[in-house]
Structure 1
Amino acid sequence: MAKRLNNQSTVGDVLKKIIQVNKLQPGMDQIDVKDAWKNLMGNGVNSYTQNVVLKGSTLYVELTSSVLREELSHGKSKIVTMINEELRRDVVTAVVLR
């Protein structure tokens, strides 16, 4: 039987416990990183973004524009920093642009 939490726990604490017990954090990270990419990159980049996938701590981004891919490849470390700052924790360590 699952451990019962005391009645004075906040909803946020209960949700964090559920995520931890059921090992849902990688899925939550995947969703959070996709949202962070959309928010940070804006409409211009998002219109050329085909897919954003987080595997482990590596972010894979599929782009339809080779020119944009080349331009973004010069700022990979900045992209990693911006996404981690948006999420307020270190989730992404590398970016692969395809």
Structure 2
Amino acid sequence: MRRAERDLKRDGVHATVTPPPSLPAGARRGVEFVLRRTSPTCLERCLVLQTWLAAQHVPCEIVVGVARDADRVRAHAWLDVERHDAVALGYSELHRLPPP
């Protein structure tokens, strides 16, 4: 998580995350627990999960979207496998980041 945060500051959307150690697919619950405890940005969360899923042979893209309210523009990132998530549905797709 710390590395994702640091690399995002340095490399922007071209940041990558080091692949995780070899763990069973069921360890995703642990990954998600750590993410909840560290309060990452949506893009940091997506980079970590995208790398985790790629290591489990489940490639997915990160989608970056925007939404406009009356007086501001908001951005959000999610994994393409989460496209039906209620939050993601409120955003228009702007850019995709391919799997590592």
Decide: shared fold, TM above 0.5.
no
TM-score normalised by length of structure 2: 0.29
The structure whose residues are more often helix, as a share, is 1
Larger Rg: 1
